Structure 1
Amino acid sequence: MITSVKMCVLGVAMLGGTESDDLTGRWVGAWMLPGGDSRDLVLSVESVGKGRFVGRVVSLAGGIQPQPLPSLSIAGDVVRFEPAVGDGRLQFRGKRSEDGQSLSGTVTGGALASPGVFHLDHRPMVRTMPDHIVYGVDIPVTEDDLVPLTVHLRRRDDGWLGEVDFPESGVLGYPVDVQGTNGVLMLSLPSLAAGDPVALTMQPGEPMVTGLWGRGQRVRVVELQRDRSTPTRRPQVPVAPYSWRERSVQVESTGEPTLSGVLAMPLGAGPFPLAVLLGEADTDRNGTIDEHPLLLVLTKALTDAGIATLRLDDGGTDFVARRRGLRRWMEWVAEQPDIDARYVAMIGHGQGGSIAARHAAAFDEGVAAVVLLSSPGLPGRIIESTRLRSLLVQSDVDAKMIDDVITAYEAYLDYAIKSVHVDALRESAKTWLDAQRSALGLSGTTSAQEVQSAVDRAQDSTWRFWLSYDPRATMPRVRGVPIFAMQGDQDATFDAGDNLKALVDSASSRGVSIEPRLLPGVNHLLQPVGASPSHSSKRIRMTIAPSTLRSLLEWIKPQLIRNPTTIRTGPDTQ
């Protein structure tokens, strides 16, 4: 499927000779080079008045990416355009037939020994026709990749007209064959990846319709939304009204701050198993990072599976305060009649995972399972030092100079952990920054502002705790509670492989049950990014890789939804 072509502005041409709006519309057909196969060709021409036309061209099978036509020239019945193909250009020159409904001509180019030919037939633009209908859908082209597709349809006496847009690829208004039987339509969609067309079957009419997309034995069910002409920015994020019931809840205790959260319940009668969801540091109840509400997406997946969720308004940065709050929440959960307190899991992302593990280590009776999502397995001091070393290596710094910088940096980190006097901290920070500036070949001296920034960071209590907290000391104490640890191999926050290994080694040293899962092509937010991530999290449409969600559900459901006689319970619930 088309995934990498960029959108372009339209080219503009002036009409020479007799002005005629008959040129406007789609010109659909094929082109062929000597000895080659026939390839698709779509030319779009729109009139902008006063003899001015704008055009675009695309040939999916022929390597002509969607592009404007600044070279578009129209003189009477003769049309010329020169699309870019690779590093060169091809020249198309054609003439309209007497009835104006077809356009045929030759294809030439600097590298061609002899000319090719092309032929196009005229058809109207569906999107400009009155009473046409529009449906939007996200096509699952791979396990973790949804490509937005817009379908434009218009019914006529002799059948249906159709065209599709792949907005992310710049393919707009691509004509497709539509076959209709008893109101059910089958559209033949273009595909670059496999060559052969892919079928989309649907029955238009309702605001939401269910369709089938795919080829052969690989067919997926898709949901098409009427009048959705632009892609959904966050296709996985649920919108109200939700497919679950939820209510705001609070925990009040004398002398303690009031805790707030949201309890989401599956439809139907309880009591239900529960997953307490803990977000990364400094996030809201939905675990939102870069406009992605990770915990809200998890809530939909879990409630659809029959598991209630509790999302907490505790997304500060104070690790200890969040731990204390979680203990109070767990006491509250045990008293809820619509929650089966024997089947309570904790699912934490980042710092939330560390808090879940720490709680389970101290109070295992009320916890049936723990899931760690992108949670560190090493102390922050080691992670920070490793990250800086990696950056220096990428900058081609000499090995000896790297060692000198890291030695100075680790001394600064140790001073931060120990909360030494500010003067000693300032001197240590300057020593590190001077060494780093020298290693990178930067001119000038370290500014007082740079030093003060390092001092301020080292005095932040949350960062100091991150540096000193060692998950390897917690994991062996999570006795009798199964753990599922998931890390994306494209995590830019820390080395996923090293941290996952540290979690496994420390847990296994005392026989703690832990199942690790290194997720290929997934980042810290658990989004699909492929082998070479190039976009920020905010630019990625997917909130959680579907394969990651599926793995989580496959693991958590047997822990929470099973015969009560087989689940691990505390002494008061056996």
Structure 2
Amino acid sequence: MKKIHLVILLLVFLVQPTIGQELTGSWKAELEVMGQKIPLLFHFEKEDGQWTGKMDSPSQGAMGIPMSKVLFDGLMLAFEIGGGVISYEGLFVEAKIQGTFKQSGLSLPLDLLKVDDNARENAVQRPQEPQAPFEYEIIETHFVNSLGNRLYGTITKPQGAGPFPAVILVTGSGPQNRNSEIFGHAPFWVMADYLTSHGIVVFRYDERGVGESEGNFSQATTSDFAKDAKAAFAHLTSFDYVDKSNAGMIGHSEGGLIAWVMAANTENTDLKFVLALAGPVVPIPDLMKKQTEDVSRSVGNPKALVEQQVKINSRFYQMVEESKNLEEAKSQVKALVNEVVGTYDMSAELKQEQINNLIPALERSLNPWFYHFIRTNPEALIEQIQIPVFAAFGGKDVQVNAAQNGNRLVQLFQGKDDLLTLKVYPNLNHLFQSAQTGAVAEYAEIEETFNEEVLKDIAKFILELN
């Protein structure tokens, strides 16, 4: 046995110097989840002695998802996405990497196989993605948030000394980089290119724990992300080329909620306006109940199933709202699921299957971010706003319903109507793409990244404030 151990150690020692070079490039894998195989691609590079990586999930339309951490010692590979929301640990065995993929409490075997460096299976075209040469300056920069983390981003600035109108861009929920990359689209890159080409300075940045930015994404709440946005805005307005009399922010989805947070608390800031794109207006439990219904219908679920999903989610949100803390909420999940599923009109066997699936799913969702998010009431923030607001909704949005939120926003701005510019685009979805149904499954299939009519309206609103 000692001789065998010695041989293994020698082999490890001998292969380490050569394997380190072989990680660079693209690797493919198939993740098997509940009988379904999900193809994945991983891309690794080494720059200035540091490993970086991205993941593609072509079947889900998610391309270029940045890794927040990559560790490789020549034999063992470990990486994280979203500050640990997804993680992987593997070991080189001959020509492949054998390891374990972890996400949301699931732990699954996953082997990586090397492919051609240029392989981008099932890649889709994104005609709006900006192409060089650019007629504006691109400036890499960073700021420090309230925890001392450095958050890195990119400023696009028109040529000349300025001062110019300026905005920061704040992404929606989930770990996102400065381009807000999702389903193979880079909407914030498209938006920054358009606005800066029309005379507006734009600062977009990687969220904490994502891309180049430091920090822990998985433990942060909307309130924490709002603090980061405030620090980003202060950083942007510190430059002489920024017109502090015409500086604001644009937020999408959860970023729109952050727009309300910042607009309601403008003391000691130069914030002059906000733009909320598909931003929540009604109390979050009401928003989420409508979202459950709209999303379920968009995928063709029968009425009975839609009603079941709305019922369990509604009770779940109510329980979270009424709980004293996160731990109490977690302790009540099992009893809640058993009670609600017990009322379903189905066999005992199907009920048990539902219970077995729902309990771990709801328990996994109860993280600090979700607990804080569900207990948020945007209406209380919007009532305090005293600066100009541009709000936009897509008529086919199944995540933030245009009628529910747009109508309530009009009511909240009664008596200060002159501050509100409200736009509803009938044929656009949650990402402001021209859509057939608005279903989430369409996001990746649509070539348009961000509708140009909306971009024109955004630029017009900002430039006319000056």
Report the TM-score range of the alignment, normalised by the length of the smaller protein: 0.5 to 0.7
Structure with the larger strand share:
1
Contact 2:140 2:154 in 1 (8 A): yes
Contact 2:397 2:429 in 1 (8 A): yes
Q: Tell me the residue number matched to 1:367.
A: 271
Contact 1:408 1:435 in 2 (8 A): no
The structure 1 residue matched to 2:354, chosen from 446, 466, 478, is 446
Q: Tell me the residue number matched to 1:273.
A: 165
1:284 aligned counterpart, secondary structure? coil
Q: Deviations over 1:443-498 (max 9, x none)?
A: 654343531221221x211111221111111111111x110100001112132210
Q: Tell me the residue number matched to 2:6.
A: none
Q: Tell me the residue number matched to 1:43.
A: none
Aligned partner letter, 2:453: S
Does residue 344 of the first structure (1) align with residue 344 of the second (2)? Answer: no
Q: Tell me the residue number matched to 1:467.
A: 374
Q: RMSD across aligned C-alpha pairs, in angstroms?
A: 3.2
Contact 1:260 1:312 in 2 (8 A): yes
Q: Deviations over 1:264-318 (max 9, x none)?
A: 1012332222111111122110111111111111111111111110002226563
Which runs of structure 2 are paired with 1:514-533 in the superposition (5 Å)?
514-530=420-436
2:413 aligned counterpart, secondary structure? helix
Whole-Å separation in 2 of the counterparts to 1:299 and 1:502: 30
Aligned partner letter, 2:403: G
Whole-Å separation in 2 of the counterparts to 1:530 and 1:377: 25
Does residue 237 of the first structure (1) align with residue 129 of the second (2)? Answer: yes
Q: Is the radius of gyration larger for structure 1 or structure 2?
A: 1
Contact 1:415 1:425 in 2 (8 A): no
Whole-Å separation in 1 of the counterparts to 2:307 and 2:170: 42
User: Higher relative contact order at CA 8 Å, sep ≥6: structure 1 or structure 2?
Assistant: 2
Contact 1:284 1:314 in 2 (8 A): yes
Contact 1:478 1:512 in 2 (8 A): no
Does residue 311 of the first structure (1) align with residue 204 of the second (2)? Answer: yes
Contact 2:398 2:439 in 1 (8 A): no
Contact 1:520 1:530 in 2 (8 A): no
The structure 2 residue matched to 1:328, chosen from 225, 231, 248, is 231
Does residue 248 of the first structure (1) align with residue 110 of the second (2)? Answer: no
Whole-Å separation in 1 of the counterparts to 2:437 and 2:253: 22
TM-score relative to the length of structure 2: 0.63
Contact 1:379 1:471 in 2 (8 A): yes
Q: Tell me the residue number matched to 1:258.
A: 150
2:371 aligned counterpart, secondary structure? helix
1:508 aligned counterpart, secondary structure? coil
Aligned partner letter, 1:494: V
Contact 1:344 1:366 in 2 (8 A): yes
Which runs of structure 2 are paired with 1:122-141 in the superposition (5 Å)?
none
Q: CA deviation at 1:503?
A: 2.2
Residues 428 and 548 (structure 1), Cα distance of their counterparts in 2 relative to 1, 3 Å cut: same
Contact 1:273 1:343 in 2 (8 A): yes
Whole-Å separation in 1 of the counterparts to 2:237 and 2:459: 23
Aligned partner letter, 1:486: A
Residues 331 and 541 (structure 1), Cα distance of their counterparts in 2 relative to 1, 3 Å cut: same
Q: Deviations over 1:331-386 (max 9, x none)?
A: 32332112122210211111112112211211155112211111111222112223
Unaligned runs of 5+ in 2: 1-122, 209-216
Q: Deviations over 1:408-442 (max 9, x none)?
A: 44544435685325432321133234445749995
Q: Tell me the residue number matched to 2:86.
A: none
Aligned partner letter, 2:223: V
Aligned partner letter, 1:251: F
Contact 1:357 1:475 in 2 (8 A): yes
Aligned partner letter, 2:367: D
Q: CA deviation at 1:400?
A: 9.5
Does residue 492 of the first structure (1) align with residue 398 of the second (2)? Answer: yes
Contact 2:431 2:450 in 1 (8 A): yes
Contact 2:153 2:178 in 1 (8 A): yes
Does residue 287 of the first structure (1) align with residue 180 of the second (2)? Answer: yes
Contact 2:292 2:310 in 1 (8 A): no
Which runs of structure 2 are paired with 1:145-160 in the superposition (5 Å)?
none
Does residue 299 of the first structure (1) align with residue 192 of the second (2)? Answer: yes
1:453 aligned counterpart, secondary structure? helix
Aligned partner letter, 1:349: H
Q: Deviations over 1:17-48 (max 9, x none)?
A: xxxxxxxxxxxxxxxxxxxxxxxxxxxxxxxx
Q: Deviations over 1:505-526 (max 9, x none)?
A: 2233666711211111100000
TM-score relative to the length of structure 1: 0.52
1:452 aligned counterpart, secondary structure? helix
Contact 1:488 1:519 in 2 (8 A): yes
Residues 453 and 268 (structure 1), Cα distance of their counterparts in 2 relative to 1, 3 Å cut: same
Residues 404 and 539 (structure 1), Cα distance of their counterparts in 2 relative to 1, 3 Å cut: closer
Contact 1:344 1:369 in 2 (8 A): yes
Structure with the larger helix share:
2
Q: Deviations over 1:222-261 (max 9, x none)?
A: xxxxxxxxx9811111023333211111224796212222
Q: Deviations over 1:104-146 (max 9, x none)?
A: xxxxxxxxxxxxxxxxxxxxxxxxxxxxxxxxxxxxxxxxxxx
Contact 1:405 1:439 in 2 (8 A): no
Moved more, 362-371 or 400-409: 400-409
Percent identity, aligned pairs only? 19
Residues 438 and 326 (structure 1), Cα distance of their counterparts in 2 relative to 1, 3 Å cut: same
Does residue 502 of the first structure (1) align with residue 408 of the second (2)? Answer: yes
Q: CA deviation at 1:530?
A: 4.0
Residues 253 and 422 (structure 1), Cα distance of their counterparts in 2 relative to 1, 3 Å cut: closer
Residues 446 and 235 (structure 1), Cα distance of their counterparts in 2 relative to 1, 3 Å cut: closer
Whole-Å separation in 2 of the counterparts to 1:399 and 1:367: 42
Q: CA deviation at 1:532?
A: 6.8
Contact 2:165 2:462 in 1 (8 A): no
Q: Tell me the residue number matched to 1:354.
A: 257
Unaligned runs of 5+ in 1: 1-230, 563-574
Residues 292 and 441 (structure 1), Cα distance of their counterparts in 2 relative to 1, 3 Å cut: farther
Whole-Å separation in 1 of the counterparts to 2:455 and 2:307: 44
Residues 326 and 423 (structure 1), Cα distance of their counterparts in 2 relative to 1, 3 Å cut: closer
Aligned partner letter, 1:328: A
